[in-house]
Structure 1
Amino acid sequence: MYFIQPTRDIPYLDQVLDALPSVQMIHIEDLDLYDPTIIAIADVADYLHYKWTIPTIVLAFEHEGAALAQAWQQGALAGWVWDHIPTNLQDALSQIDAQYKRNQDSRDLPSAAELQKRLLPNPIELKNYKIETFFQPSAYLSGDWYDYWKLNDKEIIFYLADVSGHGVTSSLLTSWMAAFHGRSKTPRELIKKLNGMLVQENIEKHITMIAGTLNLETHVLKWSSAGHYPPAILFEPGLPARILNTSSFPLGLTEDLEVEEFECQLNRYTRFVICSDGALEPFDGGLNEQLGQLVYHLQNQSFQAPDHVADDIAILSIRRIN
């Protein structure tokens, strides 16, 4: 921490400095040279006069209650009296520092959320096909993710993943996947590589996902699942929806992950839809009842997420339009 040399005479200055042997004394005119994220301790009169933005604990005389109140309104972290500083000073400073860091993390979340959304794929033009997506985090950052990209002029690859839990760690794994995917050419290869890295790094998270490729000329779609629920759903005009059930483990649980590959043909106006389990949350009942309602609303294109959701929601739909 910093201690900013007061510009007025403080009779208790030496007493306070003796209680703070680890602080670095700096001068007001040199503030621009120091780290603006490190907490400073300063006289309240200087803080109010110079209006710096460094996080600051202010010290005042007993009769300067109004100045302390003004300092708090200006953003001071805490206020003490020069000759009555906390008895256990180091604990008090540690608590203020921890609270400040938590508050900084909270203020950073909207910016982090915006950066995460920018990592989502941009729309791509595809011959005979349209990709449609829905993305709604339950908080600022999401542990659900989808991506798609062209392998060549004839094929695309895609995936939708759901990282266990919520918060920063889960969202970081989605960014990690976004940076990693370009080296894989098949769904099985993508799942195997991600699983190997999760197990090797011993990250206490698991990931469920569905990954697939689509040949834009033959209309053959191949996909693999890693413990993902709900399963992929196929909507074909005039036919009942097909639930494409599979059985496998999520990523990150075992090195010996068996990955099966399935395939289907997408006829005209057929949709292949994959969702995260948060898409079930708007509906009542057990999993089977929730899945039935989800299928109904997806088939009728009437799915609507509530404004506030308990779990992240991601939906990726691939629709043949010709």
Structure 2
Amino acid sequence: MYFIQPTRNIPNLEHVLNTLPSLQMINIEDLHLYDPTIIAIADVNDFLHYQWSLPTIVIGDETQGTELSQAWELGALAGWIWTRLPAQLEQSILKIDAQYKRNQDSRDLPSAAELQKKLLPNPIELQNYKVETLFQPSAYLSGDWYDYWKISDKEIMFYLADVSGHGVTSSLLTSWMAAFHGRSKTPRELLKKLNGMLVQENIEKHITMIAGILNLESHQLKWSSAGHYPPAIIFEPNQPPRVLNTSSFPLGLTEDLEIEEFECVLNKHARFIICSDGALEPFDGGLNEQFGQLVYHLQNQSFEAPEHVADDIAILSFRRMN
């Protein structure tokens, strides 16, 4: 941390410097040369006069209550009295520094959320198909994710994943998946590789996922599931919904993960839809009741995510157009 050399005489200055030998003494005229994210300690008079942007703890005389209040209004992190500094000065500064860093992280969340959204796949024109999506984090960052990309002129690969928990760690795993997936050519291969890396790195998170490949010409769909709920659903005109139930473990729990691959053909005007479990939250009742209501609203195209949700929501749908 920095200590800015006061421009006035401070009788108690030597005592402060002896208490904090790790401080780096710097001059006001050199402030532009130093890291603007490191906390500085300075005399309140200098802070008010120069109004620099460094995060600063200000110190004043006993008669300078007004000046200390003004410094607080200008963004000072704390205000102390030269003759009455905290008994454990270094620990007090470390606490202020930790709180400052937490506050900075919170301020960065909106920007981080925008960056995360930019990692989502761009809209894509597909032969015979339309892609429909919904992405709504419960807070700034989401642990739910979907992606899709062409692996040939007539095939598209996709997945929808739900990382356990919320917050920065879960959202970082979604970014990791976005960077990793391109090496895989089948759903089973993708899930196996992701599982192996999660187990190997001992990341204390698990991921449920549905991954698949759709042939845009033959309309053949191959998919695999890793412990994901709700299951994928196929809607066809004048037909009851087809719920594609599977049974498996989520990724990241065991090395010996068995992944089955399933196949079907999408008929004309069929919709294949996968959702994260946050899509169940708008509905009342137990899990079965919630799923039944979700299926009803998806079938009637009346699903609407609430403005404020308790869990992240992601939905990915492929609609055959002919």
Letter in 2 for 1:253: L
**Unmatched 5+ residue regions in structure 2?**
none
Q: Which string of whole-angstrom CA distances, capped at 9 and with x for unpartnered residues, describes residues 36-84 of structure 1?
A: 1110000111111111111000001111111111101100000001111
1: CA distance, partners of 2:168 / 2:204: 13
SS in 2 for 1:151: strand
Structure-1 residue corresponding to 2:218: 218
- Tell me how far 1:121 sits from its aligned partner: 0.3
Structure-1 residue corresponding to 2:126: 126
1: CA distance, partners of 2:128 / 2:103: 49
- Tell me how far 1:19 sits from its aligned partner: 1.4
Letter in 2 for 1:147: D
Structure-2 residue corresponding to 1:113: 113
Letter in 1 for 2:279: A
2: CA distance, partners of 1:279 / 1:193: 27
Alignment pair present for 1:227 and 2:227: yes
Q: Which string of whole-angstrom CA distances, capped at 9 and with x for unpartnered residues, describes residues 163-211 of structure 1?
A: 0000111000000000001111110110000000001001010000000
Structure-2 residue corresponding to 1:95: 95
1: CA distance, partners of 2:224 / 2:151: 17
SS in 1 for 2:152: coil
Structure-2 residue corresponding to 1:251: 251
TM normalised by structure 2 equals 0.99
Q: How does 1:64-213 map to 2 (within 5 A)?
A: 64-213=64-213
Q: How does 1:24-39 map to 2 (within 5 A)?
A: 24-39=24-39
Q: Following superposition, which runs of at least 4 residues in structure 1 exceed 3 angstroms of deviation?
A: none
1: CA distance, partners of 2:8 / 2:193: 64
Structure-2 residue corresponding to 1:303: 303
2: CA distance, partners of 1:44 / 1:91: 21
Letter in 1 for 2:16: V
SS in 2 for 1:30: helix
2: CA distance, partners of 1:286 / 1:135: 24
Structure-1 residue corresponding to 2:262: 262
Letter in 2 for 1:183: R
Q: Which string of whole-angstrom CA distances, capped at 9 and with x for unpartnered residues, describes residues 218-255 of structure 1?
A: 00011000000000000001001111000000000111
1: CA distance, partners of 2:157 / 2:187: 7
Letter in 2 for 1:6: P
- Tell me how far 1:20 sits from its aligned partner: 1.2
Q: Which string of whole-angstrom CA distances, capped at 9 and with x for unpartnered residues, describes residues 76-96 of structure 1?
A: 000001111111112211110
Q: How does 1:260-299 map to 2 (within 5 A)?
A: 260-299=260-299
2: CA distance, partners of 1:253 / 1:92: 42
1: CA distance, partners of 2:50 / 2:240: 71
Alignment pair present for 1:61 and 2:61: yes
TM normalised by structure 1 equals 0.99
**Unmatched 5+ residue regions in structure 1?**
none
2: CA distance, partners of 1:82 / 1:140: 41
2: CA distance, partners of 1:111 / 1:72: 26
2: CA distance, partners of 1:46 / 1:185: 63
Q: Which string of whole-angstrom CA distances, capped at 9 and with x for unpartnered residues, describes residues 104-154 of structure 1?
A: 110111111110000000001101100000000011110000000001110
Structure-2 residue corresponding to 1:4: 4
* CA RMSD in angstroms, aligned pairs only: 0.6
